[in-house]
Structure 1
Amino acid sequence: MSMVSLPGLKELIESISRERNLPRNAVQNALREALLKGYERYRRAQNLDKKHFEEEYFDNFEVELDVEEQGFRVLATKTIIEEVTNSDHEISLKDVQEFAGDAAQIGDSVLVDVTPDKEEFGRMAAMQTKQVLSQKLRDQQRQMIQEEFQDIEDTVLQARVLRFERQSVIMAVSSSFGQPEVEAELPKREQLPNDNYRANATFKVYLKKVLQGQHRGPQLLVSRADAGLVVYLFANEVPEIEDEVVRIVAVAREANPPSRHVGPRTKIAVDTLDRDVDPVGACIGARGSRIQVVVNELRGEKIDVIRWSPDPATYIANALSPARVDEVRLMDPETRQTHVLVAEDQLSLAIGKEGQNVRLAARLTGWKIDIKDRDKYDYAAEDAKFAAAARQQAAAQLEEELAEEELAEEELEDMIETVDDTGEALDEELETSEELEESATNEL
């Protein structure tokens, strides 16, 4: 078999494998595909026999790498026939018998060496395959990253700052011990305002998404602002959560507040079925030791740990911590609207700076919370207002139902009219048929 020489092939594969953090077989596969593409381009440029090459024309060709001999061959799978019309896909029985003996039969497939003899092809193949090889290697890297990180989305990884691109931080992460690092992007919206992203600084990051397709730049999207990071940090620090004695029911986080005058804050609701365990105390720890570890990792972010309750009123009151709530009135459970009554000196605490406390409480509980001054609250007026709104909503719903019924009646009338028209048409056809039958009888 002939072979195109590629001096230094073995060293080239080893070098690419180290630089790209790819296994040698992946590099060899990419090189085969690139060389095959180079051969295809060579053939198209030569335009042998003035043929028009379709897109799938070269599907029966393959490249065989010989690492030890440092070269490659081009092979083609051809079908044995009596009379050859396409020498790239077919071969005559007589030609096959010259090297395969009498065992070959018409209709069989045979692998044939079609490596060009020209030295020019080696130089052209090298030039043509360089760009293709680079793309194939990038594709191999992307595929490996997807396979490696796809199963660990929504988990926390250790990351190291590499560089900055526009407003994003490019970080190095690895999925497990001993695995090579890959690049991940931490966009501006996923960063914490109190973080200092200096070169080589390490952070815990939440793997938010593994990007698919031909995406330029890092494929991994990580976050420091996602609520999942808070859940992980507590689960890692509180043994009762890991042992499932204490469970995290809900988390509401505002890592990047709308105003720079308001700091990051998180509310986390916890619960337990064990009467002997205080879930809030377990998360806070002795003298705040456990929660302090989480706060330090999040660079001083304020965290409220509250007790979850199946009773909405109790849950809402707890969620507004540290404010002291006097009464929670569930005004409309269907639309989840509630009035929370507090003393005048608790108003600003319940609402929070620029509304952050009540905003997080609403997100945590799923209720629309309206903070009211207890001393100025008019029970009768508020009840009347909600009763009027309920009547208006009921009237609108009734009107909508009547409209739907009217539409249904119109559709029914149309259907009846259609049936009547069809019946009249059938009657006319029957009458015509009877007249024809009577006429035929009279003629007889």
Structure 2
Amino acid sequence: MSKELLGALSALEEEKGIKKEVVIEALQAALVSAYKRNYGQAQNVQVVFDEKKGDMHVYSVKTVVDDVTDDQLQVSLDDALQINKGYELGDEIKFEVTPKNFGRIAAQTAKQVIMQRVREAERENVFDEYSKYEDELVTGTVERQDTRFVYINLDKVEAVMGAKDEMPNEVYRPQDRIKVYVTKVENATKGPQVFVSRTAPGMLKRLFEQEVPEIYDGTVEIVSIAREAGDRAKVAVRSNSKDIDPVGTAVGPKGQRVQTIVNELHGENMDIVEWDEDNARYIANALNPAEVIDVIFDDDNDRACTVIVPDYQLSLAIGKKGQNARLAAKLTGFKIDIKSETEAKEFFATKQTSDDTHETGDENDQLQDKSITNDQSDEDSQTEKPDNSQTDADKATVDDPSDSTTVNEQNIN
């Protein structure tokens, strides 16, 4: 037992990186529980491991008192002084109580503790390894699929891909090799749990980094991504070098770079657009391939705008089932209302007419209030000669119709 245990502890430290002290501490705690389970719960017990010999010793720890009320936890001062003249009240004395057959119990417990520690260490190592892959691409093998997940073997751990992370245009078959994006790694009780996706915008970003060296090194930057996975995506890019065209760099010669990504995603179409610090130009770029005549921002909402396009390009700007407009809104962060040139002219003409009517109504109200005030002033002048202060009040009423009612009521009274 002693030699085997010492050898096992050394092997664990060398092969698994598990320190002896960690295993010994866990082993001693487990042996305390085993002793109490087999020989009595009431005792205050300590287990000490002899690291030189590999032996386990069990001690019952008792406190020195005047009057003993619990002989399993206490020892009288008289008895303590017979052991050592230096003991005082409150001291603790250890009495060895190692059972004769405790070696067998210790061996069984040691085996269980070591196996448990090995499993824990392996789980921790796997977690440490795969947590580094969060927000990164990894390649795995499809193992199986059920109603909830696709299970993917990543060598040391099995990753899961939920329904929302599966591409609608893909079928996953056992033994298929696929690239996936690691969205989250959790250190669960039964071991690390790795969650992966093929629909996350981050996957598209990593694919571009793999295919476009200028994006990988930061010369060209991906500012924003909007995806409807498996169908279409828009990617906004900008250049950190005035000599490099960001869109052309991302697309590649004859479209080879972007085509590689499209192939990886089984036909998901890509619109690469240039980001611009001018929001109007950025929104116009985002609506590619449609031509934009003007972008008018909402006075009441700085994240909303109306985009005007040629009549014949309205359907193109909106896209199939509104997809082009929807992706452009996601990409830019703006609420976008698209109108044809004809619709825009009618809309703004109607709006102008409405505004003019409203202003005319306000002017008529002001004239009516002015007339009422003047009439009332004439009546007052027939019965009472106004002083200079009253004349000033009448002038204020004309200039500010909102105060005329109050002044007139005062005059009537």
Q: Deviations over 1:215-237 (max 9, x none)?
A: x5751111111111111111121
Q: Deviations over 1:279-328 (max 9, x none)?
A: 00000000111111111222221111100011111111111112222222
User: Structure 1 residue 184 and structure 2 residue 128: aligned?
Assistant: no
User: Structure 1 residue 253 and structure 2 residue 227: aligned?
Assistant: yes
User: Structure 1 residue 147 and structure 2 residue 128: aligned?
Assistant: yes
> Is residue 38–residue 125 contact of structure 1 (8 Å, CA) maintained in 2?
no
> Matched residues in 2 for 1:336 and 1:274: separation?
29
Deviation at 1:141, TM superposition (A): 3.9
Q: TM-score, normalised by structure 2?
A: 0.68
> Matched residues in 1 for 2:282 and 2:96: separation?
77
- Equivalence for 2:193: 219
Q: TM-score, normalised by structure 1?
A: 0.63
Deviation at 1:169, TM superposition (A): 1.7
> Matched residues in 1 for 2:81 and 2:270: separation?
79
- Equivalence for 1:33: 26
**Letter paired with 2:285:** N
3-state SS, counterpart of residue 242 of structure 2 = coil
3-state SS, counterpart of residue 299 of structure 1 = coil
> Is residue 331–residue 338 contact of structure 1 (8 Å, CA) maintained in 2?
yes
> Matched residues in 2 for 1:302 and 1:78: separation?
75
Q: Deviations over 1:119-158 (max 9, x none)?
A: 6x7369848985x777665544443333333344222222
Larger Cα Rg: Structure 1 or Structure 2? 2
- Equivalence for 1:164: 145
- Equivalence for 2:377: none
- Equivalence for 1:321: 288
> Is residue 158–residue 194 contact of structure 2 (8 Å, CA) maintained in 1?
yes
User: Structure 1 residue 206 and structure 2 residue 181: aligned?
Assistant: yes
Deviation at 1:118, TM superposition (A): 2.3
> Matched residues in 2 for 1:206 and 1:187: separation?
12
> Matched residues in 2 for 1:91 and 1:207: separation?
65
Worse overlay, 331-340 or 358-367: 331-340
> Matched residues in 2 for 1:149 and 1:92: separation?
59
Tell me: CA distance 1:372–1:161, structure 2 relative to 1, closer, same or farther (3 Å): same
- Equivalence for 1:341: 308
Match for residue 122 of structure 1 among 100, 104, 116: 104
**Letter paired with 2:100:** D
User: Structure 1 residue 380 and structure 2 residue 348: aligned?
Assistant: yes
Tell me: CA distance 1:308–1:24, structure 2 relative to 1, closer, same or farther (3 Å): closer
> Matched residues in 2 for 1:42 and 1:102: separation?
31
> Is residue 64–residue 80 contact of structure 2 (8 Å, CA) maintained in 1?
no
Match for residue 43 of structure 1 among 23, 36, 47: 36
User: Structure 1 residue 173 and structure 2 residue 147: aligned?
Assistant: no
Deviation at 1:246, TM superposition (A): 0.9
Alignment of 1:287-306 (within 5 A): 287-306=254-273
Deviation at 1:204, TM superposition (A): 1.9
> Matched residues in 1 for 2:158 and 2:120: separation?
15
**Letter paired with 2:336:** I
- Equivalence for 1:197: 172
**Letter paired with 1:355:** G
3-state SS, counterpart of residue 37 of structure 2 = helix
- Equivalence for 1:237: 211
Tell me: CA distance 1:155–1:65, structure 2 relative to 1, closer, same or farther (3 Å): farther
> Is residue 30–residue 109 contact of structure 2 (8 Å, CA) maintained in 1?
no
Tell me: CA distance 1:270–1:165, structure 2 relative to 1, closer, same or farther (3 Å): same
Deviation at 1:195, TM superposition (A): 3.1
Structure 1: runs of 5 or more not aligned: 175-180, 256-262, 389-444
Deviation at 1:161, TM superposition (A): 2.1
**Letter paired with 1:368:** K
> Is residue 163–residue 171 contact of structure 1 (8 Å, CA) maintained in 2?
yes
Alignment of 1:364-375 (within 5 A): 364-375=331-342
Deviation at 1:164, TM superposition (A): 3.0
How many pairs does the alignment contain? 351
- Equivalence for 1:286: 253
How many percent of aligned residue pairs carry the same amino acid? 34
- Equivalence for 1:330: 297
> Matched residues in 1 for 2:257 and 2:144: separation?
32
Deviation at 1:167, TM superposition (A): 2.6
3-state SS, counterpart of residue 211 of structure 1 = strand
> Is residue 34–residue 105 contact of structure 2 (8 Å, CA) maintained in 1?
no
Tell me: CA distance 1:88–1:129, structure 2 relative to 1, closer, same or farther (3 Å): farther
**Letter paired with 1:312:** N
Deviation at 1:115, TM superposition (A): 4.2
Tell me: CA distance 1:314–1:266, structure 2 relative to 1, closer, same or farther (3 Å): same
> Is residue 155–residue 207 contact of structure 1 (8 Å, CA) maintained in 2?
yes
Tell me: CA distance 1:116–1:310, structure 2 relative to 1, closer, same or farther (3 Å): same
